[in-house]
Each structure stands twice: as structure tokens, then as C-alpha cells.
Structure 1
Amino acid sequence: MSSLPHINPKQETEKIVNFLKKNFKEQKIDKVVFGLSGGIDSTVALYLLKEVLPVKNIFAVQMDYKPRKKLDIDLKDVNVIDVSIKKIIDQFEKFLKDSAKQFLSHESLSLPSFQSGGPLSKVKKLHLPRLYLPKTFEKVRLGNIMARTRMVILFDLAKQLNALVCGTENKSERLLGYFTRFGDAASDIEPISHLYKTQVYQLAKYLKVPEEIINQSPTAGLWDGQTDEGDFGFTYEEADQVLFLYHDIKKEIKKIKRLGYKNAEKIIKRFKNNQFKLKTPYSL
């Protein structure tokens, strides 16, 4: 049976380090900015970056919405920048609520077409105002806003420092569409996006990432109790095997199911439903 191969962590580390060195040299840039969440992906990225650049040229930005437990990560001499995004997000939410109230009361409507029965008067029949009601400010939208806010902060800081923005996306997240377009998927360079999540764990152990980080449940930190696998309804371990067989090996779904992967259809359905994220923006 074909299955996702284990990586050779020593060779993989050398390959990634050489890739990073080559690109920093080609861009004539010797500084890097990245978001440090305290999860395994960003921690592995940090450990790899420390093999490439002087530690004083690494800027790790912690951008929490709510305070999180401090983890035992070796940040000696790393430039750690703490930015609470709570005020930004809360102000944005308030702006949406206020705008919704104005829209529904017609206080902000000055377009003649609304009063004169022009083409835009049909908007009311489509119930467009409901799109901006506070109750629709649900968790997914809030999570997207958080991710895009973090992207703005990282790229602005990188501009000030003449640095590259390092992403921390893995292949599992990418294939499952578990990212925000123009948010956490936005970066200048991606050191681990070719590795499935379970392979990132293998690399983490080789790099001696603290067990506390390796053993914690993967989470995007979007709300209390949120976990990646809770959102999916399946584990990374199962998803990685199914995605490898379906995406990399091109095995048929029915054959994958026969191998005992009970969530194969759910995993592949999510993969297919999120393909648009890998294709946008559509262009000629």
C-alpha cells in the first residue's frame, strides 16, 4: 500500500536552509518578519530561519486577539514584537455595526436611484442590508478579518525594515483550503508549504522543538477552544494520508476508502470545495 513517506529530517532541513539562503541572497535582503503564534508551524519556521540569518535580523511578531499561554520557545536575541490586534478588530466590528444601523435607517443613502426608483432601488428587495447586520459577524468572518489584519501588520513592518515576510503554511492546510486568502496565505517566502502537517511534526522533533509545542492541539487561535481538527471533523494524520493518495498519487476515491480511511469522502470533498482558493484571482 502506498502511503505518505517519512521525510529524512536532516536532508529536509538542509534543503530548506539552502532554499532560504538562495532566495535571501537573490533578493539582497538579510532580514525577515513572520507571525509567531506559538504553534508548531511558526516555531519550526523560526528554528529554520535561525539557521539562515543572524538572530538579530529575525523579527517575530505575536499578534494575538486574546492573551495566550506563554510557551517555552527559545527566543534569545530574536526581536519579538507583541501587537494586540483586539482593539483593531473590535473597532472594525463597531464600524460595521454602526454602518449597518445607518444603512437600515437610510441615513447614509444619498444615491438618487434609491429615492427615484432607479436600478439600485431593487437592492432593497434583495435584502442586501442584512449582509451587514451585526449578527452576521460570525466566527469565520472574524477569523478572516484577523488573518488579514495580521497580514497588513507583517507587510508594513517588512516595508519599514526592508525584510521579507516569511509564511508558515503547510501543504495540508493549503490543500484543505484552511487559510485566508490575502491573509495568512500572503507571504514572500514559504519554507514548509511543501510538507504535510505530519511531516512538519517529524521535522520539529529533529529540530528539537519543545515537546509542549509538539504535543499541543493545532489551532489558528481564532476563538476559545478552537482547534484545526475540531473544525475539520477528522485528524491531520488521516487527512495527510488521504490527500497524498488522492492528490499526489492520483488514486481513485473508492480505492482509498477500501484502505480503511473512514473520512476519505469528507476530506476529498473539502479539498475539492476549496480548489477555488488556489485558482483566484481568475484572469485571462
Structure 2
Amino acid sequence: MEKTVDQIVQWLHESVREAGVNGVLVGVSGGLDSAVVAHLIQRAFPDDSLGVILPLNSNPEDMDHAKKVTESSGINEMTVDLTETHQMMYASISDELKQNNSFEQENDQLAGANLRARLRMSTLYTIAAHYNYLVVGTDNAAEWHIGYFTKYGDGGVDILPLVEFTKQEVREIGKYLGVRDDILTKKPSAGLWEGQTDEAEIGTTYDKIDAYLEGKEIPDKDREIIDSMHRRTAHKREPVKQFHRTDK
């Protein structure tokens, strides 16, 4: 584990040097993945890393955990409350859709949740521009494979240090780095709406996705869910599709 962490830290140094920037920042949600990234980037750049807490109608326990992550990692911290910004923006968009008879109630929850993720991304990049930092993502191998992230939201980042590690491997890295036990063991949740959990929304468990990625046998119904999500979210993992002229 020491070797793995050292390799990630070295990779972070190389990424910053290649980009010609001063350091790195991450949005700290209070969950496992962002906790691990916060510890990693603080280890790599003790004076030039930043953990940004972005409350937005957030579960108070998650915000408490986020604060404890910044304390346990020793990372520099900033908090930007986006609750009012999201409320005003989404209300304005919804009102316009209703006036144009385009509002679909069944899409309301997901659209509002995706806007949260994209507001957070925009905030992180605004802060990063001021510090000349890279924005570090938190997606692990399971989330990346099934596309469990918002395009141009939490998927809108510069670098992904955990993308080749399963959820369990991320947990083991976190334990090595000193991430708190209550964060290591909490139910994964993107905090997109009240009571939301990753596994309930996905329809299978991280353990099964990890096993699938490791080439192990899993029940057919879980394999079908994983394969289906991987196909449907291919566009999230690829560069923007471009038109290529044929008349030149």
C-alpha cells in the first residue's frame, strides 16, 4: 500500500508539472472517495492543495464528515454554500420551461440533481482559476465503468487518480492514509436528494461491480445491469463527438 500511495503522489506531482500549474484542489463531499483524494493531494502538495466543501441542501452528517476530512488530512479548506444559487437558478429554468409547456415532472428530480453537480464543478473551476490549480476528480473504477457520474458535473475534472482502483481498493488506501472509520464504512451516496444512496440508484452493489471488474463470477441480473449501464454511458467516457467533413 505504501508503494501504491507513493506512485499516486508521484503521478500527482508529474501532472501538476506537465500542466504548469501551482497545485490541486478537490470538492470534499464527506464520502470515501473525496476523503481519500483529499488525503492524497495534501500529501503531495502540503501547501498547494485545497479541499472545497460545497453544501447544497446537503445532509448535515455529510457536511460534518467533510469538515472532519479536512481536519484529519490537514488540507487547506474553503466552504462555498451553493444552496441559494441552485434554488434561484433552477426555479428560473423551471419557470421558463413551464411557460413553454416543456416541463416534465418525472425528469425534475434528476435535472435538479445534475444541476447541483454542474454548479459544484463550475465553482471548483472558478476557484482553481484563481489559484492556478488543477481540479482533481474522485471517480473510482466502478463508477467510471458504469458511468455513475454527471457529465460536466463531478465528471468534469482535470485528472483522476483513483480511476483504476475498485471501491474496495479505495477503501484500503483510505485506511492506510488515516481516513476516519465512520467515513470508511458509511453507505456511498452522491447526496443528490434526500435518502439517495448509490447502490439503490444503480441497482447493484459496489462489491458486485468490483468483482465483475476483477473477472469474477457474479449473478446474471447484476452483470446485465453493469453491462447495460456501461453501454448507455459510453459517451461520458469519450471526447466530445465531432463532425468530420468529407468535402475537403
TM-score normalised by structure 1 residue count: 0.77
Q: Does 1:278 align with 2:237?
A: yes
Q: 1:98 aligns with which of 79, 95, 99?
A: 95
2:22 maps to 1:26: no
Percent of aligned pairs with the same amino acid = 29
Say whether 1:191 aligns with 2:161: yes
Tell me the amino acid that sits aligned with residue 165 of structure 2.
Answer: L
In the alignment, what sits opposite 1:202? 172
Partner residue of 2:69 out of 51, 67, 73 = 73
Residues 268, 101 of structure 1: CA spacing in aligned structure 2 closer, same or farther, 3 A cutoff?
A: closer
Q: Is the 8 A contact 2:31 2:189 kept in 1?
A: yes
1:182 pairs with 2:173: no
Larger radius of gyration: 1
Q: Which residues in structure 2 correspond to 1:8-27 (within 5 Å)? A: 9-27=1-19
SS in 2 for 1:81: strand
Question: What residue number does 1:261 align with?
Answer: 219
CA contact (8 A) 1:242 1:261 kept: no
Deviations 1:144-166 (A, max 9, x none): 11111111101111111111111
Counterpart CA distance in 1 for 2:17 and 2:225 is 43
CA distance in 2, matches of 1:224, 1:193: 27
Deviation at 1:279, TM superposition (A): 2.8
Q: Whole-Å Cα distance in 1 between the matches of residues 163 and 34 of structure 2? A: 12
SS in 2 for 1:73: helix
Equivalent position SS for 1:50: helix
Partner in structure 1 of residue 124 of structure 2: 154
Contact 1:30–1:53, Cα closer than 8 Å, also in 2: no
Residue 49 of structure 2 is matched in structure 1 by 58
Amino acid at match of 2:108: E
Number of equivalences: 236
Q: Distance in 1 between matches of 2:230 and 2:141?
A: 12
Give the Cα separation in 2 of the matches to 1:60 and 1:260: 37
C-alpha separation between the residues in 2 aligned to 1:268 and 1:30? 40
Q: Quote how far apart the aligned CAs of 1:276 are.
A: 2.5
Cross-structure match for 2:82: 85
Q: Which runs of 4+ in 1 moved over 3 A?
A: none
Deviations 1:185-234 (A, max 9, x none): 11122211121212111211111211010010001011111111111121
Gaps of 5+ in 2: none
**Which one-letter code corresponds to 1:272 in the other structure?**
R
Q: Name the aligned partner's letter for residue 75 of structure 1.
A: E
